[in-house]
Structure 1
Amino acid sequence: MPRTARILLLTAAVAATLSASLAACQRKEDKAAAPAAPAPAAPAAVTNAAAGAPMSFDSKTRYATVKLTLPDAIKSKPDLHAPLYAAAVRDLRQFSEGAQADLSEAGGGSNPYEKTIAFDPGAETGKLFSLSRTDSEFSGGAHPNTLFSAVLWDKALKKQLGFADLFRPGSDLASLDKALCDAANAAKQARSPGSETATLGGKMWSCPKAVSTPFVLTPGTTPGKAGGITFLIGAYQIGPYSDGPYQIALPQSVFRPLLNPAYADEFAGAPVKAGDVTPKT
């Protein structure tokens, strides 16, 4: 083969090899540059709080009628709303099961039991939200039984607080107990003049200790602040059932030195909803 022809063939072969190599490199670069297809997004977990909870519950069987009601104010507190609803419904279902067991053993359900749970709002401040809970049960007898409890909620921490959280640890509560006892007796005399006075540690009628008495925040004259605390005292505690329960509001000035500094600024002014009696200071 002439020398010129061989040179042309070699040149063509080299050109073809270079072209193939360049094409391969381009394919690799294109593949690397192409964005990876996004992975399918995992479905967001739906929590009880995010899903919300009902505002009421009721159930009726031949053995029991039960009902729960919640206030509109709780709608904006989903982290409290959901567990509070779940716990109350659980209590009502257990009551219904107990009623069925009792009445079945007795031979029938002609007189079904009844239970209601009602939550009502107390005052709300920048940090705190409060609710009272009233449980009314009837399982036979002359009248239903009524029990009180309460919820104090720290909105920022999203947790329930107890008496020991609101007040300074190790505080001497003697002055608070006396103020509560005096106010309870004033309310008792206003309702039943001449009735026997309740005393701390009394044998007949005994004043409750503040630490063991449910309470809610009392609305105050200063916007966004609680004017005091309203203690919830059940029937039979300081007088006969016929006297009924008491709501005793104490002004924040009575117990302000005892407050935990973390919550002291949530109180100011005077109560605007006094319950039965608001003592003067």
Structure 2
Amino acid sequence: MKTLVSLLSLSLALTACNGAKDAAPDAQTAEATATAKAQSPDESDGGGRNVSAKTDDYEFSYEYPQQVQNIPELEAIFDSRLHDKREELQKQAAEARVDAAKNDYPFRPYSLDVEWDVVADIPAFLSLSSEYYTYTGGAHGMAVFDALVWDKQVKKALEPIEMFTSSADLADAVRSDYCAQLDKERAEKRGEPVKDDGSMFNDCIDPVENSMIIVGSSNGETFDRIGFLIPPYNAGPYAEGTYEVTLPVSAAVKALVSPKYRDAFTTGD
């Protein structure tokens, strides 16, 4: 907020030199900023943490589950991310408001909604994923995915893809089943079979380059599922939203798991 006030003060000073007529937009911006009321409830009642805030410039929400709070080192990572995301949103929204006033177009408040969920909590690892919804003043917002695996033994956070020896080989190992499942989901959304005509959004996509990888469990003991979270535009038009492909861990996939993580994986049905 200090950055915004400084920018507005400078803008008002410069505008005053140019005449009262041009001062109105910046004065309105300053008034709106001065009267903004931030509400930042921090709900942490044993069911995880949920921090939200709403001002005239932006709306922010960040939530993570109790399992994260149970691990102090992991909670510190999430709290740092929460802080950084909110600071970034506040800065971007403030700059956008100033730019809107200078160029005489309507300012639309920014928003960011982040919700982390547990994918699997097995003895050696905690697997988590999140879906971000972000809006920065355009025609519509955008959904983005993220994922993290916490190694409970060495107390280290890593991306799920880091558990595999080769991204390219993993893509090759799952491609056939991935493409078949993706086309099945496309057909359900579109109400008709996918045409193999080489057109945009009908071809299969690279499973790794176009997806966020997650690892899951059906037995609570090992990772026997691998998931692919696909954001809008990667597999279909925006109106179709996101896609999610889940496959059992095959022998070929398990063979690509890094040796230091392989004991945590078993083949699935």
Q: TM-score, normalised by structure 1?
A: 0.67
Tell me how far apart the structure 2 counterparts of residues 117 and 176 of structure 1 sit (CA, whole Å): 29
Q: 1:162 aligns with which of 143, 150, 159?
A: 159
Matches within 5 A, 1:104-143: 104-107=98-101, 111-143=108-140
SS at match of 1:265: helix
Counterpart position of 2:207:
209
Tell me how far apart the structure 2 counterparts of residues 167 and 154 of structure 1 sit (CA, whole Å): 14
SS at match of 1:153: strand
Q: TM-score, normalised by structure 2?
A: 0.70
Q: Would the aligned equivalents of 2:121 and 2:220 in 1 still touch at CA under 8 Å? A: no
Q: 2:232 aligns with which of 225, 232, 235?
A: 235
Matching of residue 175 in structure 1 with residue 169 in structure 2: no
Shift of 1:55: 1.7
Q: 1:64 aligns with which of 58, 68, 72?
A: 58
SS at match of 1:143: coil
Tell me how far apart the structure 1 counterparts of residues 140 and 195 of structure 2 sit (CA, whole Å): 25
Counterpart position of 1:90:
84
Q: Would the aligned equivalents of 1:132 and 1:150 in 2 still touch at CA under 8 Å? A: yes
Max Rg structure: 1
State the Cα deviation string for residues 213-237 of structure 1 (Å, max 9, x = none).
32222231x3322231111111111
Counterpart position of 1:278:
none
SS at match of 2:153: coil
SS at match of 1:172: helix
What amino acid maps onto 1:257 in structure 2?
A: A
Shift of 1:115: 1.1
What amino acid maps onto 1:263 in structure 2?
A: Y
State the Cα deviation string for residues 165-219 of structure 1 (Å, max 9, x = none).
31235873312233322222222112223364589xx662351332663222223
Shift of 1:150: 0.6
Q: 1:131 to 1:106 in 2, by over 3 A?
A: same
RMSD: 2.7
Q: 1:149 aligns with which of 141, 146, 151?
A: 146
Matching of residue 246 in structure 1 with residue 243 in structure 2: yes
Tell me how far apart the structure 2 counterparts of residues 153 and 133 of structure 1 sit (CA, whole Å): 14
Tell me how far apart the structure 1 counterparts of residues 138 and 158 of structure 2 sit (CA, whole Å): 36
Q: 1:131 to 1:170 in 2, by over 3 A?
A: closer
Q: 1:209 to 1:78 in 2, by over 3 A?
A: same
Tell me how far apart the structure 2 counterparts of residues 171 and 101 of structure 1 sit (CA, whole Å): 40
Identical-residue share of aligned pairs (%)? 24
Counterpart position of 2:49:
55
SS at match of 1:226: coil
SS at match of 1:210: coil
Shift of 1:163: 4.7
Q: 1:74 to 1:67 in 2, by over 3 A?
A: same
Tell me how far apart the structure 2 counterparts of residues 170 and 86 of structure 1 sit (CA, whole Å): 28
Q: 1:170 to 1:244 in 2, by over 3 A?
A: closer
What amino acid maps onto 1:117 in structure 2?
A: V
